[in-house]
Amino acid sequence: MATVAFIGLGVMGYPMAGHLVRAGHRVAVYNRTRSRAERWLEELGDEHSVLAPTPREAALQGDYVMLCVGDDNDVRAVALGPDGATAGMEPGSVLVDHTTASATVARQLDAVCRENGGSFLDAPVSGGQAGAEKGTLTVMCGGSEESFDKASDVIWSYAANVTRIGPAGSGQLAKMVNQICIAGLLQGLSEALHFAERAGLDPHRVVEAISRGAAQSWQMDHRADTMLAGEFDHGFAVQWMRKDLGIALREARARGVSLPVTALVDQLYAEVEAIGGRRWDTSSLIARQRHAHRRAPTPSGDDARDDDTEAETVHEEELQ
C-alpha cells in the first residue's frame, strides 16, 4: 500500500483517484473547487482518504504526488510556490504529472524535483473519460528509469498500458504524436462518412464493410455510429483537443517541423467551436461538414457543373 496525493479532480482525475482507493492505496486529494473534492471524498473515498487544503498539504502526506489539471499555467499554479506540491514533497518522493502539457514545463518540474531530492515523471494519458472511469488508460511517461520503476505500480491502478518513452519531456512529446494521429484520423473519417451520405450509400453498411479492412481504426469502431447519428455529448471535448493541438503546433514550429494536416484540422475545430461545439466530442468534425454543405449554394441550370468540377469546388471550400 502506498500513500498518494492526487491533485486535480476533473473529468479525468476524479475517477483516477477513485481507482487508487480501490487498489488499496491511502489517498489525500486536493481540488481548487473544494466542493468537488468533498463530493469525491463522500462518493469514492474510504476511511483512509483525506481532503487537503492546499497542494502542499496534500503532498506532505504522499510518497507519490499525482497531478491532473488543465494546462501549463495550471500545472505551475498547483506545483510551484510556497503552497505548491513541490514545497511539500519529501526527499525520495515522486511527482507524476498526468496533465497534457508542454515538454518545457515537464523539464522545469523535473529540475525542481531533482533539486529537492525527489524525482519526476511527465505521464500524460490517452483513453478519455471512459478510459479513466474504466481504469484502462494508456500512459506515456518521460523521466528516469528509476522514477518510472518506482511509480509505475501506482499508475497501473488506473491504466491498461504504461510505457516509459525516454527522459523528462518525452511523455508529453509522445502525447503530441498521439493527438496528431487522432486529429488526422477523425478528419478523414468525417470526410468519408459525409461523402458516403452524399453519395446515397448506406453509411452503416459501408462502415461494416471497410472496418474489416485496412481502413479500420479505433475511431471508426467507437465513433462512426455516433457521428452518423449526430451525437457528440460524450468523450474528449473540442476545446481540449484544440489546447493539445496548439501545444503540438508550437513544439513543431520550435523544431522546424511542418504539420500541415494538423494545422488544418485545428482550424476546422475552430469552425466547430463557432457553431457551438466547444464542448462536443472531437468526432464532431462531421457536424462542421454537414453545416458547410447546408450553407453551400446548389448549382442548377446553366450554373450546374459536371461531377468532377463540383468535387474540385467542394475540395476548395473545405480548405478555406
At 17-65, the pLDDT tens digits run: 999 999 999 999 999 999 999 999 999 999 999 999 999 999 998 899 9
Residue that is last in its domain, among 166, 194, 222: 166
What DSSP line would sit under 216-243, residue for residue? Answer: --HHHHHHHHHHHHT--SSSSBHHHHHH
299 and 155, same structural domain? no
Q: Residue 306's pLDDT is what? A: 38
Tell me the C-alpha to C-alpha distance, in Å, between residue 152 and each of 51, 120, 163, 230.
Answer: 24, 12, 9, 39
For 301, the domain range is 174-319
SS3 314: helix
256 and 233, same structural domain? yes
Q: What is the pTM of this model?
A: 0.89
The share of the chain scoring above pLDDT 70, in percent, equals 92
Residue 222: pLDDT over 80: yes
**Number of domains composing the chain:** 2
Residue 316: pLDDT over 70: no
Q: Could you tell me the pLDDT band of residue 309, with boundaries at 50, 70 and 90? A: very low
Q: b or e along 217-231 (b: 16 or more beta carbons within 10 Å of the residue's beta carbon)?
A: bebbeebbebbbeee
Contacts of 241 (CB under 8 A, 6+ apart): 179, 182, 183, 269, 282
What DSSP line would sit under 14-61, residue for residue? Answer: HHHHHHHHHTT-EEEEE-SSHHHHHHHHHHT--TT-EE-SSHHHHHHT
Q: Could you tell me the pLDDT band of residue 296, with boundaries at 50, 70 and 90? A: low
Q: Residue 304's pLDDT is what? A: 40
156 and 10, same structural domain? yes
- Choose among 147, 103, 153, 158: nearest CA to 125: 158
H helices of the chain, where? Answer: 13-22, 34-43, 55-60, 72-79, 85-88, 103-115, 128-134, 145-155, 170-198, 203-210, 218-229, 238-255, 260-274, 285-295, 307-319
Residue 300: pLDDT over 60: no
Residue 301: pLDDT over 60: no
Residue 204: pLDDT over 60: yes
Give me the amino acid identity at 145. E
Q: What is the pLDDT of residues 109-163, one digit of tens each?
A: 999 999 999 999 999 999 999 999 999 999 999 999 999 999 999 999 999 999 9
Q: What is the pLDDT of residues 158-185, one digit of tens each?
A: 999 999 999 999 999 999 999 999 999 9
Q: Residue 235's pLDDT is what? A: 86
Q: Which residues are catalytic?
A: 175
Q: Residue 293's pLDDT is what? A: 78
Which CATH number do you get for residue 106? 3.40.50.720
195 and 151, same structural domain? no
Average pLDDT, the chain: 92
115 and 264, same structural domain? no
Tell me the average pLDDT across 210-215. 97
138 and 9, same structural domain? yes
Residue 81: pLDDT over 60: yes
